[in-house]
Structure 1
Amino acid sequence: MNDMLRPATTAGITPQAFEGVSVSHRGQSLLQPLDLRLSGCRRTLVMGPNGAGKSLLLRLAHGLLAPSAGRVRWEGITPRQAMVFQRPVLLRRSALENLTYALAVTGTPRGERRERAREALTRFGLAALEKRPARVLSGGEQQRLALARAWLTRPEVLFLDEPTSALDPAAIRAVEEAVRDFHARGTRIVMTTHDLNQAKRLADEVVLLYGGRLIEHTPAERFFAAPRTPEGQAFLRGELVW
């Protein structure tokens, strides 16, 4: 099996714990103290209205932001991680060079980089665009390129911050299929979304935030059938707003 396609190890994905974690800025509480544990090879969909703290939670989890209080820790060896943002961060290079650069950074031998990068472009339906500047690609193409770059690093944990926001239905389907493929090969998914239907399609468990508070952390089937909190019930009715 090609090394790029070899499944990640699922049994040893390290749990991640949030312990009394909060975030404040200029005296304003953006995320109130919360305790949360993410474990196993699950697809965790983080939901809530705008301003609930979804993106903050992902940045804390990936280590891009330090909490104002409490701590975020891995309960063992820190796993390989990748993050894909709502607006992908891409280099001013071709699609192919964005991938070969990522491989260079991770120590892949020079002689293997182009072949592996081209395999990833093919996997994500971008082979015909390898010479195109990454920043002139469409929104959906850029998002698939960011996912292809993450795929090459074989992450054990993949953080996705509203990766289908403002994409057309075909691009949304492509991104969701990529998420399923990552998960199938043993990657834990932690993803924010405001789309209830998308969460129903993808989630193993739901984390619901509201006003910077953790409201629910519940198996997806249970959450969508019968949320245990008034806020969860209101969210499913479309009544929970900032």
Structure 2
Amino acid sequence: MTKSILPLRVENLRYSVDGKALVDGISLTINPATFTVVLGPNGAGKSLLLRLLHGMLAPTSGTVACTNGINGDLRRRQAMVFQRPVLLRRSVEANIAYALGALGIPRGQRPAMIELALSRAGLRDARRVQARLLSVGEQQRLTVARALACEPDIMFLDEPTASLDPASVQQIETLLLDANARGMAIVLVTHDVGQARRLGRDIVFVHAGKLAEQGRADSFFSTPQSDVVRAYLAGKIIV
């Protein structure tokens, strides 16, 4: 079994635009097989932080480093899912096949991996349907299933269930929990406290670009340490 690229260590991460710090001095560690929820109000810098962790953006200062990763291996062993599904103009199974091919998975191994991904996502009967003809919830399930098929060490998700119907939310959350149970690290951004309670084992709370609080989910929700987290969990508007 290939050694995980994790832990992911973040040290004093900062990202500025026109002299304004949008992410300001964040340090944290993402360990293997953890389910980390990045929680906070809209505009807090959560999505920006996720892009920095994934390597889509370069920080102004600070470091993001995988302890066991080497060069290009890092990008190949992580995956990203956005709020809006990003799909090719191809069939459901062709979308998954393309992702596997892009990673250099041998052709002989791909059919079984595609079949497993379709089965997990409940999309076997839709395998030949054009991906963009699926419902929004089905499209997002496909997006998650495609990322999972690549078997990354860590998956980043930016509000993947925002505006979806409850059934679709439940299906995607089940996919993520199952993947985490198999040993995949998950980092999920949300502003939904209920979702954070359902999924998170570790909580990172971001406010105004700063790390306001972090900890295990049980203690975070039962005994929050900061005024801003107490206010947020009480349903107050955070400015």
TM-score if structure 1 supplies the norm length? 0.91
Match of 1:27 in 2: 19
Matches within 5 A, 1:41-52: 41-52=33-44
1:158 corresponds to 2:150: no
Question: What stretches of structure 2 of length at least 5 have no aligned partner?
Answer: none
| Pairing partner for 1:147 from 125, 144, 148 | 144
Structure 1 moving runs of 4+ over 3 Å: none
SS of match in other structure, 1:20: strand
Deviates more, 1:104-113 or 1:117-126: 104-113
1:212 corresponds to 2:204: no
Query: Counterparts of 1:105 and 1:12 in 2: how far apart (Å)?
Result: 20
Q: 1:238, CA displacement in angstroms?
A: 1.4
1:234 corresponds to 2:231: yes
1:132 corresponds to 2:132: no
Is the 2:120–2:175 Cα contact (8 Å) retained in structure 1?
no
Is the 1:13–1:41 Cα contact (8 Å) retained in structure 2?
no
Deviates more, 1:213-222 or 1:67-76: 67-76
Q: 1:51, CA displacement in angstroms?
A: 0.6
| Pairing partner for 2:96 from 93, 96, 99 | 99
Query: How many residues get paired?
Result: 234
Query: Counterparts of 1:118 and 1:18 in 2: how far apart (Å)?
Result: 36
1:196 corresponds to 2:193: yes
Letter in 1 for 2:105: T
Deviates more, 1:24-33 or 1:163-172: 24-33
Letter in 2 for 1:15: P
SS of match in other structure, 1:107: coil
Matches within 5 A, 1:45-194: 45-77=37-69, 80-194=77-191
| Pairing partner for 1:39 from 31, 39, 42 | 31
Is the 2:15–2:24 Cα contact (8 Å) retained in structure 1?
yes
Deviates more, 1:40-49 or 1:108-117: 108-117
Is the 2:9–2:28 Cα contact (8 Å) retained in structure 1?
yes
Match of 1:5 in 2: none
Is the 1:231–1:240 Cα contact (8 Å) retained in structure 2?
no
Is the 1:13–1:39 Cα contact (8 Å) retained in structure 2?
no
Letter in 2 for 1:182: A
SS of match in other structure, 1:70: strand
| Aligned-residue identity in percent | 46
| Pairing partner for 1:16 from 8, 11, 25 | 8
Query: Counterparts of 1:203 and 1:116 in 2: how far apart (Å)?
Result: 27
Is the 2:92–2:130 Cα contact (8 Å) retained in structure 1?
yes
TM-score if structure 2 supplies the norm length? 0.92
